[in-house]
Chains A and B, each alone.
Chain A
Amino acid sequence: MKKSWVGHRLVTTPNHLALDGLRILDLSQVAAGPYATMFFGYMGAEVIKLESRSRMDINRGRARPGPNDPRVYAGGVQGERPYDRTAHHIHRNINKLSVTLDLADPKGKELFLGLIKVCDVLVENYRSTVMDRLGLGYDAVSQANPQLIYLKISSQGATGPEANYGSLGSTLEQTAGLASVTGYEDGLPLMTNEVYPDPVVGILSFGALMAALRRRRQTGRGCLVDLSQREVTSMLLGESVLDFSVTGRVAATMGNKHRDMAPQGVYPCSGEDMWVAVSARTDDEWLGLCRAIGQPGLADDARFKDTWSRQANHEALDEIISSWTRGLDHYQVMHLLQTEGVPAGAVLKGSETIVDPHLEARGFWDVVDHPEAGVYKQTTTPWTLSKSRRQPTVPASGLGEHNYQVLGGLLGLSTSEIDALVEQGITGDVPDPSA
Chain B
Amino acid sequence: MQSNDGVLSDIKVLDLSQGVAGPFCAKFLAGLGAEAIKVEPEMGDPARRAGPFLGDSDDLETSALFAYLNTSKKGITLNLDVPSQAQSLKELAQDVDILVESFAPGYLESVGLSYEDLSGTNPGLIYVSVTPFGQSGPYRDYKGSDIVAQAMGALMYTIGLPDREPLKVGGESALYTTGISAFSAAMLALHVRDAQGFGQHVDISAMEVMTVAQIHSSINEQFGHTPIRRPTNLVRAKDGWVSPGLETGVQQGTWPKVCELMGVPELAEDNRFTTQEARRTNQQALLEVVGSWAATMPKEEIYHTLQSLRTITGYVATVEDLLVSKQFAEREFFQTLADPVYGDVVHPGPPFRMDDDSWRLFPAPRLGEHNEEILGRA
Contact = CB atoms under 8 A, between A and B. Distances in A.
Interface string A233-245: 0111111111111
Interface string B196-239: 10101111110111011111111111111111011010100000
Contacts of A88: 215, 219
B301 to A, nearest CB: 14
Interface string B304-342: 000100111111111111110011101101101000001
B346 interface: yes
Contacts of B28: 207
B151 A91 contact: no
A242 B337 CA distance: 10
B215 A31 contact: yes
A190 B156 CA distance: 13
B168 interface: yes
A245 B345 CA distance: 6
B311 A166 contact: yes
A196 B192 contact: no
B146 A234 contact: no
B348 interface: yes
A171 B203 contact: no
A139 interface: no
B257 interface: no
B166 interface: yes
Given A235-B348, A275-B166, A351 B209 contact: no
Nearest to B144: A343
Interface stretch (A95-103, A378-386, A416-424, A425-433): A378-386
Given A174-B243, A204-B180, A256-B168, A180 B351 contact: no
A87 B223 CA distance: 7
B316 A210 contact: no
Most interface-central of A39, A190, A250 (chain B CB within 10 A)? A190
A245 B323 CA distance: 9
A246 interface: yes
A395 to B, nearest CB: 13
Nearest to A76: B224
A280 B65 CA distance: 19
B152 A348 contact: yes
A207 B183 contact: yes
A214 interface: yes
A249 B198 contact: no
B184 interface: yes
Interface string B249-271: 10000000000000000000000
Contact of B353 (A225, A238, A256, A261): A225
A388 B181 contact: no
Interface string A1-44: 00000000000000010110000000000010001000100010
Contacts of B232: 188, 190-191
Interface residues of B, number: 151
Contact of B327 (A156, A266, A344): A156
Contacts of A235: 176, 348, 351
Nearest to A179: B316
Contacts of A90: 219
B188 A351 contact: no
A242 B202 contact: no
Contact of A72 (B214, B223, B229, B316): B223
Most interface-central of B52, B203, B227 (chain A CB within 10 A)? B52
A277 interface: yes
A189 to B, nearest CB: 5
A192 B180 contact: no
A357 B154 contact: no
A190 B144 CA distance: 24
A111 interface: no
Interface in A353-384: 353-354, 356-359, 361-362, 364, 373, 376-384
Interface string A202-218: 01111110111111011
Given A177-B317, A189-B241, A353 B153 contact: yes
A241 B316 contact: no
Contacts, number: 507
A161 B327 contact: yes
Contact of B207 (A226, A347, A352, A359): A359
A177 B139 CA distance: 33
A195 B217 CA distance: 12
B245 interface: yes
Nearest to B204: A383
B192 A18 contact: yes
A39 B208 CA distance: 14
Contacts of A51: none
Interface stretch (B36-44, B76-84, B88-96, B157-165): B157-165
Given A204-B184, A347-B156, A258 B137 contact: no
B317 A354 contact: no
Contacts of B160: 184, 190
B235 to A, nearest CB: 11
B106 interface: no
A357 B178 CA distance: 21
A259 B142 contact: no
Contact of B352 (A75, A227, A385): A227
Nearest to B27: A238
B134 A218 contact: no
A384 B202 contact: yes
A382 B204 contact: yes
A149 to B, nearest CB: 9
B120 interface: no
A278 B146 CA distance: 10
Nearest to A153: B352
A167 interface: yes
B294 interface: no
Given A196-B213, A259-B51, A361-B137, A348 B154 contact: yes
A363 to B, nearest CB: 9
Contacts of A264: 145, 147
15 contacts: A76-B225, A87-B219, A175-B314, A182-B159, A190-B160, A217-B194, A218-B7, A226-B354, A243-B64, A243-B319, A250-B319, A255-B167, A256-B168, A260-B49, A350-B220
> Which 7 residue pairs of A and B lie closest in terms of their CB atoms, listed nearest first?
A350-B217, A171-B314, A181-B170, A207-B184, A210-B187, A245-B346, A383-B185
Given A215-B355, A234-B348, A362-B136, 12 more contacts: A174-B317, A180-B319, A183-B170, A189-B241, A193-B216, A194-B158, A194-B216, A196-B169, A213-B191, A238-B176, A350-B157, A382-B185
